[in-house]
Chain A
């Protein structure tokens, strides 16, 4: 079955430190990948997405992700986090269909 895996349920980090949130998907010929962020008591907001082209994708709020086909990964990175980045982060994928499949989410907790 097609799936997406976020191995880390929680990632604690100090402010101004770099962070990487991991996402792996099951292999497929055609795949589109997304990262969404959900702040407390809010809906989801798109951070970035990969459809094709350059494997390094830049998004909002200083986030970027790299599509790695050989490792079937789409890890999210930020070189220096802020307290305001504390939120739930969801990796999502579509596999040749219009249905968005979400990972289980990673809670990023930034400490001062």
Chain B
């Protein structure tokens, strides 16, 4: 199984809502990543988890809260988002958090904040 899955595929939420994005992989990878991608732009790194511990936070606003409950699962909790947070949210994983490893991406969750 070389797949990273993400749910939901699409999400529409109001600025006062709380929602969560889910990412799962069963490749035995021990590093997982959240990226944000705006239209016609490259992905921007948000968070990196290595061995279920947060190792990189790219100065992301606290309205985004990541969680890694186990080695296969990565969540992104959303609260009080702004319309400018509308984007494609991509999850990725690598065997380890090491220089040069291939990142395996999920299909993304397309988020619209109203």
Contacts and interface: CB of A to CB of B under 8 A. Distances in A.
Interface residues of B, number: 24
Contact of B42 (A42, A97, A104): A104
Given A104-B42, A105-B42, A49 B99 contact: no
B45 A99 contact: yes
Contact of A51 (B4, B48, B100, B108): B100
A49 B102 contact: yes
Contacts, number: 51
A26 interface: no
Interface string A78-104: 000000000000100010111110111
B108 A42 contact: yes
A34 B103 CA distance: 10
B99 A32 contact: yes
A53 interface: no
Interface of B: 4, 6, 40-43, 45, 48, 56, 90, 92, 97-108, 110
